[in-house]
Amino acid sequence: MIRLRKAKIVATLGPATSDLETITQLFHAGADVFRLNFSHGSHEDHRRRYELVREVERASGRPISILADMQGPKLRVGPFAEGKVMLVTGAEFALDRNPADGDVNRVCLPHPELFDVVAAGQSLLLDDGKLRLEVLDNDGERIRTRVLHGGTLSDRKGVNVPDAILPIPVLTQKDLIDLEFALSLGADWIALSFVQRPEDLIDARELIGARAGLMVKLEKPAALDRLDEIVNAADAVMVARGDLGVELPPERVPGAQKRILRSCRSHGKPVIIATQMLESMISAPVPTRAEASDVATAIYDGADAVMLSAESASGGFPVQAVAMMERIIKEVEHDPLYRSLLDAQHELPLGTPGDAICAALRDVAQTIAAVATVTYTTSGHTSLRAARQRPVAPILSITPKLSTARRLALVWGVHSTVSPDVESVDEMVSAACSIAVRQGFANSGDPVAIAAGMPFGESGTTNLLRIARV
């Protein structure tokens, strides 16, 4: 089964997409990666959905990637005596350590670490940015603020602190339990929420090891200050525009998205554009024209994948939303301007043998009009470096490891397959040609360009380029 497009689609599973028939329909409509959102649902819910995806994988014969998205640290105010209050613009309001129920003058902020970093002049955003407070002073027990944008505030609504780096771990106790559960299932990617610094990845990297790819969600303005370091430390990136759009002014989000895309392209790390892509399709069978343009822009910019959240998890038209993304991606990728833009954004190869080989692979494949660029890989490194070059021909990735094939299902242009390892160059060429024909990429007489590493089976040894004719 060939996807006639390069960019990939991530579909979040939820109450609307929890049965085998619907997940099968999502896959055939175009979903390449399924996301399990650990902010919602029980472990049993996620286990059942995971097993159904694997059933679809077995039936289709195609590797499918599963992304486990950790909730991360959620900061919330305490409860109110009346359940909610009305904060009036211009009034003073305090957040303190007192556990008593709140009122119109104050509420408990049950996060002691915030009292160490919040300072006068900073902003606090409540309820996904609907209310904005200016900090007047902080004595360590009580943060006194003035309401800049008022409204109704109810129990346990979220708190965002855009102007400070928060001294809180990326992995909460809940996340640690969820992480081990997701790894025990066999999740291919683990996404960390609210990453602020590259140091935030250290503990997660140690816990995950080689069992899954480590994805960072960029949703804090502080992360943009050390963007290249964070991207370099991660295996993949998600532009989580929901929380990023709360803490950044809306007009700055498009520029931040392009900066992140450029950094990911430079480092050769897969990048997902997420949140509100086709949000009107939660309740309507077609998107707005602005939403269609938003998806198209991400593809024109060279994103590896675009993601559906509530549209596929709880919306009324999940299959139609995936199908719409598929149509938008295909339309963009058939536009001659798309290739011109990718070529204009083309990154020079890094100073490594793997990058040199994969840059040459791109040029050779274009010169000989190869029908496919074939990459042999154990760890996925060769296929990732080939994808960084954004070649015209599809990347037929061949690996002996199912876990690698699944992980690569997220990556731009990669058609991932599993095949036994080879032991010689002649065997490699023969297998590459045979698989290219069997997978529908080539016919007799067609040229293919092949990249691999010798000795075969060793990770990170990309050093071989070969031209063959089927």
- Average of per-residue pLDDT values in the chain: 95
Element (H, E) at 405: helix 402-408
Residue 465 has a pLDDT of 93
Q: What angle do CA 203, 209, 211 make, to 5 degrees?
A: 130
Kindly state whether residue 79 falls inside one of the protein's structural domains.
no
What pLDDT is recorded for position 456? 76
Does 205 lie in the same domain as 92? no
Q: What is the mean pLDDT of residues 2-7?
A: 92
DSSP class of 3: -
Report residue 82's pLDDT band, with 50, 70 and 90 as the boundaries. Answer: very high
User: The whole model's pTM is what?
Assistant: 0.93
Within a domain: 348: no
**What confidence tier does 241 reach under pLDDT thresholds 50, 70, 90?**
very high
Distance CA 455, CA 464 (A): 10
Q: Residues 217, 104: one domain?
A: no
pLDDT for 350 equals: 86
Q: Are 105 and 94 in contact (CB under 8 A)?
A: yes
Q: Map residue 79 onto helix, strand or coil.
A: coil
**Strand duo 305-308 + 213-218: pairing:** unpaired
Which helix (DSSP H) or strand (DSSP E) does residue 161 occupy? none
Residues 260, 382, single domain; the answer is: no
Q: What is the pLDDT of residue 2?
A: 86
pLDDT of residue 467: 94
Which residues are known to be catalytic? 35, 76, 217, 275
268 shares a domain with 193: yes
d(CA 16, CA 13): 7
For the chain, percent of residues with pLDDT exceeding 90: 89
Residue 88 sits in the same domain as residue 68: no
Domain boundary among 136, 160, 184: 160
Kindly tell me if the per-residue pLDDT of 15 is higher than 80.
Answer: yes
**Which amino acid, 301?**
D
- Quick one: 112 and 197 in the same domain? no
330-340 residue pLDDT tens: 999 999 999 99
CATH number at residue 30: 3.20.20.60
- Is residue 3, in this structure, part of any structural domain at all? no
Contact 309, 291 (CB under 8 A): no
Q: Which two three-digit tokens encode residue 22?
A: 């619907």
What's the structural domain count of the chain?
A: 3
**Residue 347: inside a domain, yes or no?**
no
Query: Picking from 82-86, 239-243, 288-292, which range would have the lowest pLDDT averaged per residue?
Result: 239-243
Q: Render 250-311 in DSSP notation, one character per residue.
A: GGGHHHHHHHHHHHHHHHT--EEEESSSSGGGGTSSS--HHHHHHHHHHHHTT-SEEEESHH
**The pairing of beta strand 131-138 with beta strand 123-126:** antiparallel
- From its phi and psi, is residue 337 left (phi > 0), alpha (psi between -120 and 50) or beta? alpha
Identify the CATH number of the domain in which residue 377 sits. Answer: 3.40.1380.20
In this structure, which amino acid lies at residue 128?
D
Do the domain assignments include residue 93?
Answer: yes
Instruction: Look at residue 301 and tell me if it is in a domain.
Output: yes
Strand stretches in 330-455, DSSP E: 372-376, 395-399, 414-418, 447-453
Residue 131 phi, psi dihedral angles, 5° rounding: -120, 140
Domain residues for the domain of 211 are: 8-73+169-332
Q: What is the pLDDT of residues 401-458, one digit of tens each?
A: 999 999 999 999 999 999 998 888 999 999 999 999 999 999 999 999 999 987 776 7
Residue 350, helix vs strand vs coil: coil
Q: How confident is residue 314, by pLDDT bands cut at 50, 70 and 90?
A: very high
Of the pLDDT bands very low, low, confident and very high (cuts 50, 70, 90), residue 128 is confident
- Mark whether 175 and 153 lie in a shared domain: no
pLDDT band at 351 (very low <50, low <70, confident <90, very high): confident
**At 123, which CATH number?**
2.40.33.10
Judge contact between 382 and 353, C-beta under 8 A: no
What angle (nearest 5°) sits at the alpha carbon of residue 17, between those of residues 12 and 19?
135
Confidence class for position 462, pLDDT limits 50, 70, 90: confident
| Average pLDDT of the segment spanning 19-41 | 97
Phi first, then psi: give them for residue 412, nearest 5 degrees. Answer: -50, 130
Asked if pLDDT for residue 461 goes beyond 80, the answer is no
Query: Is residue 341 in some structural domain?
Result: no
Amino acid type, 396: L
3-state secondary structure of 28: helix
How many CA atoms within 13 Å lie on the side-chain side of 357?
26
Instruction: Note whether 288 and 311 are within 8 A (CB).
Output: no
Gap between the Cα atoms of 335 and 216, Å rounded? 31
Q: Among residues 139, 160, 181, which one ends one of the domains?
A: 160
Domain membership flag for residue 284: yes
250 and 153 in a common domain: no
Judge if 411 and 266 occupy the same domain: no
Share of the chain above pLDDT 70, in %: 100
Report residue 383's pLDDT band, with 50, 70 and 90 as the boundaries: very high
CA dihedral 156, 162, 166, 172 (to 10 degrees): 50
pLDDT above 90: residue 52: yes
For residues 184 and 315, state if they share a domain.
yes
Report the C-alpha gap between 83 and 156 in whole angstroms.
9
- What is the DSSP code (8-state) at residue 102? B
252 pLDDT tier (thresholds 50, 70, 90):
very high
Tell which of 332, 361, 394 closes a domain.
332
Task: Report pLDDT for 442.
Answer: 94
Same structural domain, 292 and 388: no
The three-state secondary structure class of 152 is strand
Does 285 lie in the same domain as 246?
yes
19-to-22, 49, 121, 308, 398 alpha-carbon distances in Å:
6, 8, 50, 18, 31
At 462, which helix (H) or strand (E)? Answer: strand 462-469
Enter the tokens of residue 212.
């899954």
Task: Tell me what the mean pLDDT of segment 16-37 comes to.
Answer: 98
Instruction: List, in sequence order, every beta strand (DSSP E) within 315-446.
Output: 372-376, 395-399, 414-418
Structure tokens at 256: 């931040």
The string over 299-318, giving b where at least 16 C-beta atoms fall within 10 Å of a residue's C-beta and e elsewhere, is: bbbbbbbbbbbbbbbbbebb
Q: What is the pLDDT of residue 423?
A: 84
